[in-house]
Amino acid sequence: MTAIDERPATTCPAPGRPAHRLARFGLLRDLERPRDMVANLGPNWYSSIMGTGIVGGAAATLPIQFPGLRVFGTVVWGLAAVLLVLLTAAWAVHWIRHTETARGHAANPMMGQFWGAVAMGVMTVGAGAGSLGGPVLGAGTAVAVDWVLWSVGTAIGLVTTAAIPYLMITRGEVAADGAFGGWLMPVVPPMVSAANGALLVGHLPAGTGKETMLLACYAMFGISLFATLAILPQIWNKLVVHGTGPAATVPTMWIVLGPLGQSVTAAHLLGNQARGVLPEPYATGAEVFGLLYGVPTWGFAMVWLALAAAVTVRTVRQGMPFALTWWSFTFPVGTCVTGTSALAARTHLPVFAWGALALYVLLVVAWAVVAARTAHGSVVRGHLFA
């Protein structure tokens, strides 16, 4: 807190009414001071960038295209890019002015998990630049932006994959029923790196560098996959033995779809790139793996989607307050869209093509609802910042 924050107000506002001028325009009316916007800004806010960016990026992958879809995707990706710039600037101010609070977020058993959202938010915007940004930025610039954001996001993601579990292990502050979907957040970024990195492999010249990049993406695929396989049984055990827990955490059940859908996408894209990079029989094996891994994983993802939806509907009927955890309804579903689109491209089966479109409609509806609630709770009311 700076000295200017501690000065008493020269005028007393009416009881229950904020003193700042923005409230006169119906903005931030639940905050006493606009500067309080950044006082408690945590890494979980980057989930809004993930959820917005995947709406744009998934549009480019759909096997069924129609007029206006790509324009819609580009506009939403542009919104995600603007959010990334604004949120990163605000978060930098938060770290400077509220350093202890920021460090506390990293140490918190729940909030610390969402450091993975920072890595994935950055990479999601980068992937959108590569797939949608060409007509806006120019092909060369779009690829360069994708490379930069992928590199930054990958570096952050590799750190969170090791650092957050290390803190959980060494500090011993996790309760017996503490497992929840958010535990996957710090270990999913390498899978996002694998999927998005596969698209960048095609921009590299043939040679050692290209093969190294491809195999590095497979390594990150494995990092995230095996970490997910270690965490998922704990989440299942927690749900079955201890129940869903607080209503506000129920949306985090949907996070399980993230590594599942993204791994199907990554396996497909890496298999596509293997041809001409890896020698035989490995190139053909990589393509076969994309199908034989993708279909069973997609099947489990659909079962989990149905389970998560049923639990969510039950919780909504009992009363589920809005929180930033609602963004869990977006990015994980988006990875199921891209994964289903990948299987449609691999098999050419209508069931996957129409399935991808149906999931995309679900994604857009969820995003519209959550984005509207977030805008009202942050820009209009301001209480989400508190």
Q: Which pLDDT belongs to residue 305? A: 98
Amino acid, res. 194: A
Strand partners, 275: 278
Which residues are within 8 A (CB) of 245 and not within 5 positions of it... i.e. 6 or more apart?
A: 177, 180, 238
Q: Which pLDDT belongs to residue 16? A: 53
Which of the pair, 33 or 201, is modelled with greater confidence? 201
* pLDDT tens string 114-153: 999 999 999 999 999 999 999 999 999 999 999 999 999 9
Q: Is residue 203 part of a domain?
A: yes
Averaged pLDDT for residues 253-274: 97
Confidence of residue 39 (pLDDT cuts 50, 70, 90): confident
Q: Is the confidence at residue 6, as pLDDT, over 60?
A: no
Q: Is residue 200 part of a domain?
A: yes
* pLDDT tens string 223-257: 999 999 999 999 999 999 999 999 999 999 999 99
CA-to-CA separations, 79 to 30, 72, 102, 142, in angstroms, rounded: 25, 11, 26, 16
Q: Is the confidence at residue 49, as pLDDT, over 80?
A: yes
Confidence of residue 294 (pLDDT cuts 50, 70, 90): very high
Percentage of residues in the chain having pLDDT higher than 90: 80
Whole-number Å distance between alpha carbons of 69 and 87 = 27
DSSP state of 187: T
Averaged pLDDT for residues 162-182: 87
Q: Is residue 295 part of a domain?
A: yes
Residue 153: closest CA among 135, 127, 181, 176 = 127
Confidence of residue 26 (pLDDT cuts 50, 70, 90): low
Q: Which pLDDT belongs to residue 334? A: 97
Q: Is residue 198 part of a domain?
A: yes
Q: Is residue 3 part of a domain?
A: no
Q: Is residue 6 part of a domain?
A: no
Q: How many separate domains does the chain show?
A: 1
The SS3 assignment for 278 reads strand
Q: Is residue 372 part of a domain?
A: no
Confidence of residue 19 (pLDDT cuts 50, 70, 90): low
CATH number where 172 lies: 1.50.10.150
Lowest-confidence pick of 59-63, 98-102, 224-228, 348-352: 98-102
Which of the pair, 273 or 32, is modelled with greater confidence? 273
Average pLDDT, the chain: 91
DSSP state of 190: H
Q: Helices (DSSP H) in the chain: which residue ranges?
A: 3-6, 46-61, 69-97, 99-107, 115-132, 134-137, 139-171, 189-201, 208-237, 257-274, 282-318, 331-347, 350-375
Amino acid, res. 143: V
Averaged pLDDT for residues 308-336: 96
**pTM of the prediction?**
0.91
Q: Which pLDDT belongs to residue 276? A: 87
Q: Which pLDDT belongs to residue 93? A: 94
Residue 258: give the domain boundaries.
Answer: 14-321+329-364
* pLDDT tens string 363-378: 999 999 999 999 999 8
* pLDDT tens string 297-319: 999 999 999 999 999 999 999 99
Q: Is residue 282 part of a domain?
A: yes
Q: Is the confidence at residue 84, as pLDDT, over 70?
A: yes
Q: Which pLDDT belongs to residue 17? A: 54
Whole-number Å distance between alpha carbons of 324 and 176 = 24
